[in-house]
A and B are shown apart, each in its own frame.
Chain A
Amino acid sequence: MARQGTSPEPVSAAAPVVALQDVAVRVGGRTLWSGVDLRVGAGEFVAVLGPNGVGKSTLVKVLLGVQPAHEGRVRVLGGAPGRAGERVGYLPQRRSFDASLRMRGTDVVRLGWDGDRWGVPLPRSRARRAARKRIAEVIERVGAAGYAHRPIGQCSGGEQQRLLIAQALVRRPELLLLDEPLDSLDLPNQAAVASLIGRICREEGVTVVMVAHDVNPILSRLDRVVYLAEGGAVSGPPAEVITSETLTRLYRTPVEVLRTSDGRLVVVGQPEAPARHSDRHADRHTGRDGGPA
């Protein structure tokens, strides 16, 4: 419907990590979005954008295999979604741990390593040493070594987010699905976590699909964006998608994309989706009409 081939898909040599073909999703009898085409190659950094309630998180759930696609074809790492196991790392939408939760950050990261295994680990085994080494390494990688031994409930939002990224990374996934990882972080932490994710993508070749409310902190690192609207979607390089023309066509209402003097993009006039999900987003649903992309 409102789908445009804004650019020829740069087909990577290998099979795509994520391939969506004309996918539509229905939740509670309502079609959230349809006609989504997306091919993500290995090592690409992709952002999923769109107004609140449009179903950005649902797209991540489709890739996880938790939410079935109503129509179309979904392939993740060459198989049906939900079959890739630890090859996919996942960071759900903002969870903050209760301040009274008595679990160290290290233990939470460790759950990402072997939390899905049954039975009791053997003490002093080689597997255990390997686990300890990898966990220390990944905690060092995200810069959380200074507080990983503290109960996670006592860490700040940014510290918790780094530990959770470490948890998602600990099994060396090929695909990282991040649902609003910068949400409710302050600006310095947003920049730091965004650059951490960018480094992981570039240096370790991990494919990143990230749901974002604000594209600006990650804009310079993006290979591709998917802009969702009620009914349709556009995908392509950010310079081609986040433009007044493309978004006006997508939303069928005048939308203006402004570039501020420091290079930030501001989208004005983007319609909000129907308020069905407003309870979930209530805390950041107000005054967003002229918000950032």
Chain B
Amino acid sequence: MSALLQLADGAAWSWNPAEDLRQMWAFPFMVNAFRAGTIVAVTAGVMGWFMVLRRQSFAGHTLAVVGFPGASGAVLVGVGATYGYFAFCVAAALVIAAVPRGGRSGGVQESALTGTVQAFLLACGFLFTALYKGLLGGTTSLLFGSFLGITTRQVWVLLAVAAAVLAALAVIGRPLLFASVDPDVAAARGVPVRSLSTAFLVLLGAAAAGTSQITGTLLVFALLVMPAATAQALTARPGPGLLLSAAVAVAVTWLGLTVAYFTPYPIGFWVTTFAFGCNVLARAGAFAAGRLRAGTPAPLPAAGGAA
């Protein structure tokens, strides 16, 4: 926690951006935080785009929450939190994929089951942090994120996982899109819809585990949902949408890290706030553009009436 003390001393915004950045990046932990944040943001932006399209946000949230007992349990037994996140999230993805889906009413049952298990695992994580007395303030940073103490080793692990996730997604991307939008026709054309659904959940588990390490398990949506929702509000094209989602995720992460460094308030709050701001702006913009387009032929502004 010595970094925190250094922060309290040295971090003051000087209104000279070059100088401020140089000062911030003089700390190796800040450089690692930017590296890890960028890797995680790109993965979350891309995976989140598919998650929002597939309406699997609840599954994404569950996977992230499962990372909490994973991380705190790993710290308790003396393994790095990183490994706990990945092991638990990917295992949970396999469990969710294995639960059989019984038609349309199966969704309700599934969400009740997932909710039950999610609450129990959250409680387990709380127990693990209570048992591990040495983890000062650990619960808060596991749940709401932290950018302190990211090691170079951790950055490499995140990079390796992100590269694997994005490579796998590049291979299955088109059939996954087909299966997400139009499962019946995709199945008739020989796309393995069930297997792709499992593969997607595993990749989502890995992405959620990575994201948790920056935003905390409870704020993963800041990078997993908000940039994707922002991108989808602005464009209905798959390619540009994916790029935009990743770009928004990276931008809010960099902004969040910078502002968190210069203020006493936590990273999770800033990243979420900037992502939320982007989303509100995008929706307002899309709404205004729609209104403008609908209103053009009508002479009276009130006659425009965007639906």
Which residues of B sit under 8 angstroms from A287, Cβ to Cβ? none
Q: Does A92 contact B (CB under 8 A)?
A: yes
Are A64 and B170 touching (Cβ within 8 A)? no
A-B Cβ contacts below 8 A, count: 80
Are A103 and B189 touching (Cβ within 8 A)? no
Which residues of B sit under 8 angstroms from A151, Cβ to Cβ? 236
| Cα separation A29 to B253 with both chains bound (whole Å) | 56
Interface readout for A145-160 with B: 1 if CB under 8 Å, 0 if not?
0000011000000000
Q: Does A10 contact B (CB under 8 A)?
A: no
Which residues of A sit under 8 angstroms from B173, Cβ to Cβ? 120
Q: Does B298 contact A (CB under 8 A)?
A: no
Are B177 and A102 touching (Cβ within 8 A)? no
Are B171 and A119 touching (Cβ within 8 A)? yes
Q: Which of A88, A101, A118 contacts B175 (CB 8 A)?
A: A118
| Cα separation A168 to B189 with both chains bound (whole Å) | 10
Interface readout for A69-86 with B: 1 if CB under 8 Å, 0 if not?
000000000000010011
Evaluate whether A66 and B170 lie within 8 angstroms (CB atoms) in the complex, with A95-B182, A115-B175, A118-B175 already known. no
Which residues of A sit under 8 angstroms from B232, Cβ to Cβ? 102
Which residues of B sit under 8 angstroms from A92, Cβ to Cβ? 184-185, 188
- Number of residues from B at the complex interface, CB < 8 A: 26
Are A116 and B236 touching (Cβ within 8 A)? no
Nearest A residue to B184 by beta-carbon distance? A92
| Cα separation A287 to B279 with both chains bound (whole Å) | 48
Q: Does A107 contact B (CB under 8 A)?
A: yes
Are A115 and B184 touching (Cβ within 8 A)? no
Which residues of A sit under 8 angstroms from B170, Cβ to Cβ? 119-120
Are B181 and A116 touching (Cβ within 8 A)? no
Are B188 and A107 touching (Cβ within 8 A)? no
Q: Does B187 contact A (CB under 8 A)?
A: yes
Evaluate whether A116 and B172 lie within 8 angstroms (CB atoms) in the complex, with A95-B184, A102-B236 already known. no
Which residues of A sit under 8 angstroms from B175, Cβ to Cβ? 115-118
Are B186 and A116 touching (Cβ within 8 A)? yes
Are B189 and A115 touching (Cβ within 8 A)? yes
Are B187 and A115 touching (Cβ within 8 A)? no
Task: Give the Cβ gap from A184 to chain B, nearest Cβ, in Å.
Answer: 16
Are B177 and A111 touching (Cβ within 8 A)? yes
Are B184 and A116 touching (Cβ within 8 A)? no
| Cα separation A82 to B233 with both chains bound (whole Å) | 38
Are A117 and B174 touching (Cβ within 8 A)? yes
Are B181 and A101 touching (Cβ within 8 A)? yes
| Cα separation A87 to B177 with both chains bound (whole Å) | 21
Nearest B residue to A98 by beta-carbon distance? B55
Q: Which of A66, A88, A107 contacts B187 (CB 8 A)?
A: A66
Are A116 and B189 touching (Cβ within 8 A)? yes
Q: Which of B53, B177, B233 contacts A115 (CB 8 A)?
A: B177
Q: Does B190 contact A (CB under 8 A)?
A: yes
Interface readout for A128-168 with B: 1 if CB under 8 Å, 0 if not?
00000000000000000000001100000000000000011
| Cα separation A114 to B241 with both chains bound (whole Å) | 19
Evaluate whether A118 and B171 lie within 8 angstroms (CB atoms) in the complex, with A104-B236, A111-B178 already known. yes
Q: Does B277 contact A (CB under 8 A)?
A: no
| Cα separation A82 to B178 with both chains bound (whole Å) | 18
Which residues of B sit under 8 angstroms from A200, Cβ to Cβ? none
Q: Does A108 contact B (CB under 8 A)?
A: yes
Nearest B residue to A97 by beta-carbon distance? B181
Q: Does A45 contact B (CB under 8 A)?
A: no
Are A86 and B189 touching (Cβ within 8 A)? yes
Nearest B residue to A171 by beta-carbon distance? B189
Q: Does B191 contact A (CB under 8 A)?
A: yes
| Cα separation A86 to B53 with both chains bound (whole Å) | 25
Task: Give the Cβ gap from B290 to chain A, nearest Cβ, in Å.
Answer: 10
Q: Give 29 pairs: A residue, B residue, CB < 8 Å, sorted on A.
A: A66-B188, A86-B189, A88-B188, A90-B185, A91-B185, A92-B185, A92-B188, A95-B182, A97-B181, A101-B181, A102-B232, A102-B235, A102-B236, A103-B238, A104-B237, A108-B181, A115-B175, A115-B177, A115-B178, A115-B189, A116-B178, A116-B190, A117-B174, A118-B174, A119-B170, A119-B171, A120-B170, A120-B173, A120-B174
Question: Hey, which bits of chain B sit against chain A, CB under 8 A?
Answer: 53, 170-175, 177-178, 181-182, 184-191, 232-233, 235-238, 241
Question: Hey, which bits of chain A sit against chain B, CB under 8 A?
Answer: 64, 66, 82, 85-86, 88, 90-92, 95, 97, 101-104, 107-108, 111-112, 114-121, 150-151, 167-168
Given contacts A107-B237, A114-B174, A116-B186, 15 further A-B contacts (CB under 8 A): A64-B188, A66-B188, A85-B190, A88-B188, A92-B188, A95-B182, A103-B236, A104-B236, A111-B177, A111-B181, A112-B185, A115-B174, A115-B177, A116-B175, A116-B190
